[in-house]
Amino acid sequence: MKQKKRFVAGNWKMNGSLSQNRDLLNALIETVKDADSDVVVFPPAIYIQQVATILDGMNIKVGVQNISFEAKGAFTGEISLSMVKDFGCDYILIGHSERRTLYGETDADVAKKMKVVVAAGLTPVICVGETLEERESGKTEDVIKAQLTSVIDEIGIEAFKNAVIAYEPVWAIGTGKTATPEEADQVHEFIHCTLKAYDDKISDLVRVVYGGSVNASNVDSLFAKENIDGALVGGASLEAEGFTKIALA
Ligand code: 13P
């Protein structure tokens, strides 16, 4: 398979402040300006305007961690796709395991969100991954397949044409416990096979990135694997030196 442009993103989750964001971004603007990868940050929604302003014209893009699939109206606390588009967001994170487990987001919600993102011409970064219990009972592939096919069956494989898929094993998120490069590579290959059953070309286009305790020390061994096209980084993206190393790896 042809080597794809790497995708490296920092999911800040519910972290940051006006001054921390400014310091982090000012450092990153300098250090990653020659990165060959697509570099994206996902700040909390309230900071998108600040982040988009600082990054205007830079090679680091802005994404949002979640959106509503509704267009507008009485949905207290939600933000719509047209709102994030207004602020120049290019990427939308969909179905992060924290959204699924803590906020009850279902596969059907994920499909609806993916549909509106694709219709708006933005790039969905859709997250899939198994829990420890599912892995230990040998259900990893079944879970990943169900998460993907529930979306494909609802809105079609075409929706994945411009998508990034993040494989984030739930047990590796924020735990310091990374999937081994072999374990991750195996699941990434399985994700490609699952898409291939629907459409060869789309499977080849999609970048599958790994997330779960990626840091400056383990990134090289992960990126050495054929099927790992980048990383979705949580904790290590909050600190310029570590995130730079990952973005430049
Ligand atoms: P950590 O890198 O902190 O494990 O988080 C991964 C993640 O959930 C990124 O979306």
Q: HSE on the CB side for 62, CA within 13 Å?
A: 24
CA of 237 to the centre of ligand 1 (A): 9
Global confidence as pTM:
0.96
Closest ligand 1 atom, residue 127 Cα = 10
CA of 33 to the centre of ligand 1 (A): 23
pLDDT in tens, 45-103: 999 999 999 999 999 999 999 999 999 999 999 999 999 999 999 999 999 999 999 99
Report whether CATH 3.20.20.70 matches the domain 7-248.
yes
Q: Give the residue whose CA is nearest to atom 1 of ligand 1.
A: 234
Which is the catalytic residue, given 105, 130, 168, 188?
Answer: 168
Cβ atoms of 96 and 66 closer than 8 Å: yes
Joined tokens for residue 211: 């997330």
Which is the catalytic residue, given 96, 105, 130, 188?
Answer: 96
Domain assignments of the chain as residue spans, ordered by start = 7-248
Q: How far is CA 181 from CA 25, 35, 76, 210, in A?
A: 29, 23, 41, 9
Q: How far is CA 113 from CA 31, 80, 87, 97, in A?
A: 33, 10, 18, 15
pLDDT in tens, 166-191: 999 999 998 888 889 999 999 999 99
Cβ atoms of 208 and 192 closer than 8 Å: yes
